């Protein structure tokens, strides 16, 4: 009889233990739901994932190889906006892209951030400004994660800063300020940051007249240009025509991460340019 009582007590105690162990209180607090975020581009998506890590769920709308200014939202993307808590954008995407969709959006609780900073976010110092802006915005939305967002943002900024300094040292060693180039307007800020001597810039092929293209080619020949740097999202036909005339080398760079990592795409851009520089050096 005593043995049965002890057995019963042990079973009850075990049940109570299991119930407490699986209770949210046993973890200190109930597991937090992730913030559902829609990012217009892979650039914003990469930054947000680096800052938010496990606290966010990020979906990117614009394919990384496409220009946001020439993209329109499809019904599938509109549904994502209805289910999201936050939409993050650059601000240059255009009215057809986002504004019209949000006016008819039934999600009245959707919070929206258009980045205030301007410039090419592939340039590290401009990229870091966007990191600070997005980190502050996320902290305002979820104050309880403020410390986590701040720590994750600082760790990410350190990785970007460390690699940026490495790039700057490398390009000084290559003496790129003595290398003359022509480049797409959308890459001019990045190319200037690398230290190149830009002779002229050009827009999209559809916006460039034959006369303007001829003037760029003449200037390139006159100045001894060997490299034409194109922007992937704007198209690469102009640079291709130029290098055929100047017997040079074309480099196609991206303005947006092609995967989940800004640093990986930055490295890929840099490696392409370095190979072109070494090719020019081999001609001397």
Q: What local confidence, expressed as pLDDT, does residue 99 receive?
A: 59
Contact residues for 196 (Cβ-Cβ < 8 A; gap 6+)? 176, 177, 179, 180, 181, 183, 227
pTM (predicted TM-score): 0.84
Range list of H helices, 84-123 = 100-103
Sign of CA dihedral 254, 51, 75, 96: negative
- Lateral strand order in the sheet of 111-114: 56-60, 35-39, 86-89, 111-114
Same fold, 35-167 and 174-283: yes
d(CA 174, CA 178): 9
Residues 255, 284: Cα–Cα separation, whole Å: 31
Q: What separation in angstroms does the CA of 258 have from each of 125, 199, 265?
A: 20, 28, 6
Give the pLDDT of residue 161. Answer: 98
Between 3.10.110.10, 3.40.50.1980, 1.10.3720.10, 1.10.10.10, what CATH number should domain 174-283 receive? Answer: 3.40.50.1980
- Where are the chain's structural domains? 35-167, 174-283
User: What dotted CATH number matches 35-167?
Assistant: 3.40.50.1980
Pick out the chain residues at pLDDT < 50.
Answer: 4-6, 8-18, 20-30
Q: Quick one: which of 151, 79, 163 has its CA closest to 125? A: 163
CA atoms of 190 and 188, how far apart (whole Å): 6
pLDDT at 93 (0 to 100):
76
Query: What is the strand order of the sheet 197-202 is part of?
Result: 197-202, 180-184, 227-231, 249-253
Supply the pLDDT for residue 133. 97
What are the residues facing 21 on neighbouring strands? none
Alpha helices, DSSP H, located in 113-209: 124-141, 146-173, 188-194
Residue pair 113/92 in contact (Cβ under 8 Å)? The answer is no
pLDDT of residue 47: 97
CA atoms of 192 and 185, how far apart (whole Å): 11
8-state DSSP, 171 = H
Give the whole-angstrom CA distance, residue 58 versus residue 39. Answer: 7
């Amino acid at each position: 009889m005593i043995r049965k009582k002890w057995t019963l007590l042990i079973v009850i105690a075990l049940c109570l233990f299991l119930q407490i162990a699986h209770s949210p209180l046993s973890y200190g607090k109930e597991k937090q739901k992730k913030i559902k975020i829609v990012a217009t581009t892979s650039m914003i998506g990469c930054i947000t994932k680096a800052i938010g890590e496990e606290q966010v769920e990020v979906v990117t709308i614009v394919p990384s190889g496409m220009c946001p200014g020439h993209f329109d939202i499809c019904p599938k993307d509109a549904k994502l906006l209805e289910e999201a808590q936050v939409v993050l954008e650059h601000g240059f995407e255009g009215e057809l892209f986002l504004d019209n969709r949000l006016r008819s959006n039934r999600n009245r609780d959707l919070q929206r951030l258009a980045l205030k900073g301007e410039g090419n976010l592939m340039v590290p110092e401009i990229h870091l400004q966007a990191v600070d802006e997005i980190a502050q915005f996320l902290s305002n939305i979820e104050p309880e994660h403020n410390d986590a967002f701040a720590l994750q943002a600082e760790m990410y900024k350190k990785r970007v800063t460390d690699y940026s300094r490495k790039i700057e040292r490398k390009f000084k060693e290559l003496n790129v300020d003595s290398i003359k180039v022509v480049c797409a307007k959308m890459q001019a800020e990045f190319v200037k940051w690398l230290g190149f001597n830009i002779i002229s810039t050009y827009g999209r092929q559809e916006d460039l007249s034959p006369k303007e293209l001829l003037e760029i080619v003449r200037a390139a020949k006159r100045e001894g240009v060997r490299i034409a740097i194109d922007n992937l999202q704007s198209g690469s036909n102009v640079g291709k025509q130029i290098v055929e005339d100047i017997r040079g080398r074309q480099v196609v760079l991206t303005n947006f991460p092609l995967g989940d990592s800004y640093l990986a795409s930055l490295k890929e851009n840099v490696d392409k340019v370095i190979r072109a520089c070494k090719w020019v050096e081999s001609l001397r």
